[in-house]
Amino acid sequence: MSMNEMLNTTFPVLTNQDWEKKAEESLKGKPVSTLANDTYEKIKLKPLYSKEDQQLVNLSQYPGQQDFRRGLNALGYIGNDWRVSQTLSAQSGEELKQSLLTSLEKGQTAISFEVKESVVSEIAALEELHAKYPYSLNAKKLQADILDQLSQFSAANEGSGYIGNDPIAVLIENGSENDSIEEDYNELSRCVEKASQTLPEIKTILVNTIPYHNGGANAVQELAIAISTGVTHIEELLERGLSLETILSKLVFQFAVGANFFMEVAKLRAARILWSKITEAYGADVTNQGMVISAVTSSFTKTVYDPYVNMLRAGNEAFAAVLGGVQYLHVSPFNEPEGQASAFSNRIARNTQLILKEEAHLTKTADPAGGSWYVEKLTDELTEQSWNLFLDIEEKGGFIQALKQGYIQEQIEEIRVQRAEAVNTRKQTVVGTNKYANPADEPLNVSLKQAEQKNEKTWAIKPIRSTRLSESYEALRTQANALKESGKTPSVGLLTLGSLKDHKARTDFMTGFLTPGGVESVLSKEIHSFDDASAFISESGLKHFFICGSNDQYQEAGPKFVGQIKEKYPNIHLYLAGLPAKDEQEDWRNNGVEDFIHVRSNCYEILSSLLNAMEVGADE
């Protein structure tokens, strides 16, 4: 083929039907529609997306242009790099300074630390760094103290970044028995006005959605809460005499980035669209319509067991944050649940960002997600649904009223329960926790939260409890470890029917089902008769047994086999691995099977019931 022929060669135009047909070949005849699934945002994800899905997207839009979905800057991160903002922990100003100097030398590019009184009282130690690096601080109630001290620096007006506070988020984290929001906004207004004079380049107003994310909120809720909080800030501060231009120029939005990669990329893009429309409605100049975003990788997704997988989770979340177009980023150390990072975990977290910059070359491409039919469509759907929820909040009198009524808390709790159910039934996999758990794993040093007691307080604003997806299974492992320490190893017997090839699939399934709760599986020898089963039960001394075999063996042995066992051993508990046909289940139960264990079983509830029964037995 000549060069001209090669240049003139074209590929045939394929329709959606062509792609679906090709996909169904790989699926061995199953329809492509079976791959569709619903998200927590009630968005149906299709297996195939095409240019027809870009109905709402302005394809001529470039990065840096209104509505800013493609980012704030025309060249993306080229010349406008995101800031590596690892949050450091220290007990004094001097300790913080030394920790910062080390981190800055090794790639950190912003001053970020855990705000506490012992450090804030000695913040003068940071004066030599003040003009060299931007701040990235959620200052909360210590904002005024920090700003007052920084204002005394000789080069105070050269400071940059943000030292922000979101008074609503502070109330949500801790709850409020008194309606103190008016005074909180008075304090925020004073801080903004004073800092505008002495620290003109430092942003001081924060919209912090992390407490809602860590309470279980979905992306639509986070977005609606973000813009609703932003609107509340604008209204409250306008009432206190600040100008719209001042308010918008001082605003920073803080998001947590979770595990659903493309959803999180689309969430950050949708956030900029929504805020652009809000500010446009206020009559803001286009230069004040952009959204500055500070992101952290999610603590909601991190686990106590198999903690090194947290590195992969944080890396995935950091990648999504960068593709989404953030300006500041904190990557959580793998041992974050312990509440205190080590030098090693901090280094790995910081280097995750450096790898994204230097080896993945994400600073050299403007909006790499732009134009993806899937991401663009997802962005549009999130934008539309979030706007509708924002309007619902406004109809309830605005965000503060919606919080006082408990509407926001109830909406988030509903999603949290759905997430917990998905993890408990293992519909959602948490590697190393509810699937692929290692019984020899050493957990992080974390005191798991006790179940909340009924609180008799009357809340003006009820708090949203921060949680993690894996907590329910971690509590099971704690319970199992306590049994071991008491001398009672939590073990069950697996009655393996027939040869290895007959029972292996269900034996492996049951072992994997039991391990997440710290329950050990004791396998019998091949069982070919009632006598084999009887010998194993007698020798094991266990009280809980799971029958594992093939469907053919279940048909052959039948419920009568179970009846024989229960007749001889009336005090043991029997379970069947698998789910017989509906018309057969009653017969199995009547003969002594207490439950059927299968892929749709609630793993957490069954393991909890087992451990509770063993705990009672240990005390007898």
**Higher pLDDT, residue 315 or 15:** 315
**The pLDDT of residue 348 is above 80:** yes
Torsion 71-74-78-81 (CA) sign: negative
| Burial (Cβ within 10 Å: 0-12, 13-18, ≥19) of residue 215 | buried
242 close to 190: Cβ distance less than 8 angstroms: no
Pairwise CA distance, residues 576 & 545, whole Å: 9
Q: What is the mean pLDDT of the chain?
A: 94
Q: What percent of the chain has pLDDT over 70?
A: 96
Angle at 457 between CA 456 and CA 458, to 5 degrees: 120
Checking DSSP bridges between strand 520-523 and strand 251-257, what pairing results, if any? Answer: unpaired
Residue type, 149: Q
* Residue 1, pLDDT score: 59
Rounded average pLDDT over 67-87: 94
pLDDT at residue 456 greater than cutoff 70: no
Q: Is 80 exceeded by the pLDDT of residue 6?
A: no
| Mean per-residue pLDDT, 220-249 | 98
Instruction: Give pLDDT, residue 447.
Output: 79
Confidence at 451, pLDDT banded by 50, 70, 90: very low
d(CA 323, CA 266): 9
pTM of the model: 0.94
For residue 491, the cross-strand partners are 520
- Residue found by looking up tokens 């409020």 in the block: 176
On the question of pLDDT at 254 being above 50, the answer is yes
Distances (CA, A) of 239 to 88, 233, 243, 322, 396: 36, 10, 9, 36, 20
- Kindly state the average pLDDT of the residues 481-501: 95
- Give the pLDDT confidence of 354-363 residue by residue, as tens digits: 999 999 999 9
Q: Which two tokens stand for residue 131?
A: 């003009």
| 3-class secondary structure per residue, 508-531 | HHHHHHHHHHCCEEEECCCECCHH
pLDDT at 454: 46
User: How high is the pLDDT of residue 408?
Assistant: 98
Q: Please enumerate in sequence order all residues whose Cβ is within 8 A of that of 300, keeping only pairs 6 or more positions apart, or say none.
A: 213, 214, 216, 256, 258, 467, 468, 469
Query: Nearest to residue 581, comparing CAs of 551, 610, 609?
Result: 551
How far apart, in whole angstroms, are the C-alpha atoms of residue 377 and residue 107? Answer: 36
The answer to whether residues 102 and 128 touch, using CB atoms and an 8 Å cutoff, is no
**Quick check: 596 pLDDT over 50?**
yes
Over residues 573-578, mean pLDDT: 98
**Tokens 């046909």 found at:** 581
Q: What angle do CA 616, 618, 620 make, to 5 degrees?
A: 75
pLDDT category at 559 given cuts 50, 70, 90 is very high
Residue with tokens 């070919």: 528
Average pLDDT over residues 100-105: 97
Question: How far, in Å, CA of 576 to CA of 452, rounded?
Answer: 35
Greater model confidence, 449 or 194:
194
d(CA 561, CA 575): 13
User: In terms of C-beta density within 10 A (0-12 exposed, 13-18 middle, 19 or more buried), how is residue 272 classed?
Assistant: buried
Q: 502-510, long-range: CB within 8 Å, 24+ apart, which pairs? A: 502/549, 502/550, 502/552, 502/553, 503/548, 503/549, 503/550, 503/553, 505/550, 506/548, 506/549, 506/550, 506/577, 506/578, 507/548, 507/577, 509/548, 509/577, 509/599, 510/546, 510/548, 510/577, 510/597
Confidence at 453, pLDDT banded by 50, 70, 90: very low
Q: Which residues of 36-71 are buried (b: 16+ CB within 10 A; e: fewer)?
A: eeebbbebebbeebeeebbeebeeeeebbebbbbbb
Contact 580, 588 (CB under 8 A): yes
Using left for φ > 0, alpha for ψ between -120 and 50, and beta otherwise, residue 161 falls in left
Average pLDDT, integer, range 224-229 = 98
Question: How many C-beta atoms surround the C-beta of residue 550 within 10 A?
Answer: 18
Please give the angle made by the CA atoms of 186, 187 and 192, to the nearest 5 degrees: 100
